[in-house]
């Protein structure tokens, strides 16, 4: 092998894991649209102040301030690495006026901050890191106090029998072609007693190279009724489930509607909205 080839980096070595993550699992435009819809459902007016707990690269904060000139966002995460990546890549793409309306704090989400928010979002199942009822209720109580008197907390949930299959991988092509990549969601473990679960995200590239276990999560698999009971225990006045609407062919439409009951599905994603 020539020196030149030896020094050539694989696509995995050159890849940026946060960029791949955002392209694979996030859709901030849809998220912020949903937050406005859910807030209007609760209070018949528009929200302006967003708090994004577990914000990582805070893509949602950045999308929020783009939506309206009066919108402000507070992003909270305890890891400086994704926050720095977000500053260099997401915040840098905003106008100066938009940048001024994003505030970031490197801290535990279980801290009180001012100003209080209209919408507090905890996305991508992040609060499942809290594995006991006591921890979740404590977090929900603090989250509630971080909301204005008219505020909502929004979190996403996943479920369905497919989620409990161990040693199971879901694969999606995110970008096609020579410059593309594939996304792998690996469900490694599910303990039926404790509901302890482990998930891993990996990426594979057209040259065959892999970014294995770029992200890993060790969570408790919580259910919808448990979360709604804990929200009530933490003092939220009510909570609602928003379920994804399907078209006449049974395909997901990307629209979420408030429901009291839903048809069982092998794999689903929903939102829970708690009203202060």
Cβ closer to ligand SAM: 43 or 217? Answer: 217
The minimum distance between CB 237 and ligand SAM, in angstroms, equals 25
Q: Which stretch binds ligand SAM (CB under 6 A): 72-80, 91-99, 159-167, 176-184?
A: 72-80
Give me the residues paired with residue 186 across strands.
169, 200
> What Rg value do the Cα atoms of the chain yield, rounded?
20
Residue 143 within binding range of ligand SAM, rule CB under 6 A: no
Pairing of strands 117-122, 49-53: parallel
CB burial class (10 A; 0-12, 13-18, 19+) of residue 176? exposed
Tell whether residue 238 is a contact of ligand SAM (CB under 6 A): no
Mark 36-65 with x for binding to ligand SAM (rule: CB under 6 A) and - for no binding.
------------------xxx---------
Vertex 89: Cα angle to 67 and 109 (nearest 5)? 70
92 counts as binding ligand SAM under rule CB under 6 A: no
Distance CA 202, CA 184 (A): 5
When asked if residue 134 is in the footprint of ligand SAM (CB under 6 A), the reply is no
DSSP E strand boundaries for the chain: 49-53, 72-77, 102-106, 117-122, 147-159, 168-175, 181-190, 196-204, 210-220, 238-246, 252-259, 268-275
* Site for ligand SAM contains 78 (CB under 6 A): yes
Q: Is 262 in the site for ligand SAM (CB under 6 A)?
A: no
User: Are 143 and 122 in contact, with CB atoms under 8 Å apart?
Assistant: yes
| Nearest approach, Cβ of residue 94 and ligand SAM (Å) | 18
Map tokens 């294995």 to a residue.
212
How far is 184 from 175, CA to CA, in rounded Å?
13
Instruction: Please pick, from the candidates 13, 16, 29, 79, the single residue that binds ligand SAM as defined by CB under 6 A.
Output: 79
Counting contacts by CB under 6 A, is residue 124 touching ligand SAM? yes
Q: Is 77 in the site for ligand SAM (CB under 6 A)?
A: yes
Which residue, judged by CB position, is nearest to ligand SAM in the bound state?
56
For strand 72-77 and strand 102-106, is the pairing parallel, antiparallel, or unpaired? parallel
Q: Between residues 43 and 196, which has the closer beta carbon with respect to ligand SAM? A: 196
Give me the phi and psi of 111, to 5 degrees please. -130, 150
Q: How far is the CB of 31 from ligand SAM (least distance, A)?
A: 8
Task: Specify the stretch interacting with ligand SAM by CB under 6 A; choose among 11-19, 90-98, 119-127, 144-152.
Answer: 119-127
In angstroms, give the least distance from the CB of 57 to ligand SAM.
7
User: Of the two residues 20 and 55, which places its CB atom closer to ligand SAM in the complex?
Assistant: 55
Contact residues toward ligand SAM (CB under 6 A) are 26, 54-56, 76-79, 82, 108-109, 123-124, 126, 129
């Amino acid at each position: 092998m020539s020196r030149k080839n030896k020094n050539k980096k694989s696509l995995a070595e050159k890849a940026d894991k946060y960029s791949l993550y955002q392209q694979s699992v996030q859709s901030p435009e849809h998220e912020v649209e949903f937050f406005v819809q859910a807030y209007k459902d609760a209070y018949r007016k528009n929200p302006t102040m967003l708090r994004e707990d577990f914000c990582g690269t805070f893509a949602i904060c950045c999308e929020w301030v783009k939506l309206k000139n009066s919108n402000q966002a507070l992003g909270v995460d305890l890891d400086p690495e994704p926050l720095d990546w977000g500053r260099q890549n997401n915040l840098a793409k905003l106008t100066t006026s938009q940048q001024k309306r994003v505030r970031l704090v490197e801290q535990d989400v279980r801290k009180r901050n001012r100003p209080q928010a209209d919408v507090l979002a905890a996305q991508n199942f992040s609060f499942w890191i809290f594995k006991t009822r006591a921890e979740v209720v404590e977090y929900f109580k603090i989250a509630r106090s971080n909301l204005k008197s008219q505020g909502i907390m929004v979190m996403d949930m996943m479920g369905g029998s497919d989620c409990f299959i161990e040693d199971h991988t879901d694969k999606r092509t995110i970008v096609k072609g020579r410059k593309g990549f594939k996304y792998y969601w690996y469900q490694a473990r599910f303990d039926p007693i404790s509901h302890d679960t482990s998930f891993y995200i990996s990426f594979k590239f057209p040259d065959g190279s892999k970014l294995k276990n770029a992200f890993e999560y060790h969570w408790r698999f919580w259910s919808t009724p448990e979360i709604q009971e804990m929200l009530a225990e933490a003092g939220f006045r009510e909570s609602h489930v928003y379920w994804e609407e399907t078209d006449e062919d049974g395909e997901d439409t990307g629209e979420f509607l408030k429901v009291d009951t839903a048809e069982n599905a092998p794999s689903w994603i929903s939102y829970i909205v708690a009203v202060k």
